[in-house]
Amino acid sequence: MTTYTKSPLTVALALGLTTVLLGGCATDRSAYNPSPDVIKNAMAAFKRDFDAKGSASLDRLNTDKLQDICNATNSKPSPDMAAVVEREQMAAIKLPADGNLLGDWKAGEKLAQSGRGMTWSDKTGIPNGGNCYNCHQLSPQELSYGTIGPSLLHFGKIRGNSPEIQKYTYSKIYNAKAYNACSAMPRFGHSSALTEAQIKDLVALLLDPQSPVNK
């Protein structure tokens, strides 16, 4: 970047401007605001250039309404649009019929560790893992955790274990988009990646006072 000698005011103004420019100037083209045509071309490339493999069938390239909205807005929908999407996703959440949301935290820990499932190289017919440690810190013993999502260490210790918190935790894992339209977190229940019993085990991992997450 060029440096010049200028009055402090000009420098301050220029710095402010640089920040704005860096977002969208021609050399650092990182700002991405797709036009409908650009999206259409990308969709066409998806449909043209992929082959089904293992369990990864071609219908996975068909986007749903939520994905369409996130794609059109680079995952930054307007507050109004987000509210509509979140309401729809929330309405589609199915809570367990028996009303019991807490499973077994030990099974939950195993699930959280497993990154298996739904890739074309995974064997079909074996239960999927939760992939949670790929993105979150959970139990303090596990140092190999990712940072795409926030730390969930002490999740239940901080929030308690009330019916409301249980319902929130179950629903968040079932469909993260019900609370955050274009969240990076998958919709594990909505997309049938995890079963009801598995989600209960994960709720226990996060909320059970005996779980290492809350020690």
Binding site for ligand HEC (CB under 6 A): 112, 130-132, 134-136, 148-150, 152, 169, 172-173, 176, 180, 183-186, 188, 202, 206
Give which of ligand HEC, another protein, none residue 43 binds (C-beta under 5 to 8 Å, depending on kind): another protein
> Using CA atoms, how far apart are residues 13 and 16, in angstroms rounded to an integer?
5
Q: Could you say whether residue 123 binds another protein (CB under 8 A)?
A: no
Q: How far apart are CA 111 and CA 72, in angstroms?
A: 33
46 contributes a contact to another protein by CB under 8 A: yes
d(CA 130, CA 123): 16
Partner whose footprint covers residue 156, from another protein, ligand HEC, none (CB < 5 to 8 Å by kind): none
What does DSSP assign to residue 161?
-
**Contact predicate 100/197, CB 8 Å:** no
Inter-residue contact 85 to 66 (CB < 8 Å):
yes
Say how far apart CA 174 and CA 197 lie, in whole Å.
11
Q: Are 125 and 167 in contact (CB under 8 A)?
A: no
* Residue 92 binds to another protein (criterion: CB under 8 A): no
How buried is 62 (Cβ within 10 angstroms: 0-12 exposed, 13-18 middle, 19+ buried)? exposed
Cα 31 from Cα 49, distance rounded (Å)? 26
CA distance 130 to 145: 13
Q: Which is nearer to ligand HEC, 84 or 179 (CB)?
A: 179
From the list ligand HEC, another protein, none, which binds 202 (C-beta under 5 to 8 Å, kind-based)? Answer: ligand HEC
Q: CB nearer to another protein: give 70 or 203.
A: 70
Shortest spacing between CB 50 and ligand HEC, in angstroms: 11
CB of 99 to ligand HEC, least distance (A): 20
Residue whose token pair is 């809570």: 95
143 forms part of the interface with another protein (CB under 8 A): yes
Asked if residue 60 binds another protein (CB under 8 A), the reply is: yes
Among 61, 81, 90, 107, binds another protein (CB under 8 A): 61
Q: Which two tokens mark 37?
A: 């045509």
Contacting residues toward another protein, per CB under 8 A? 27-30, 32, 34, 38-39, 41-43, 45-46, 48-53, 56-58, 60-63, 66-67, 70-71, 74-75, 118-121, 133-135, 142-148, 177, 182, 184, 186-187, 191-193
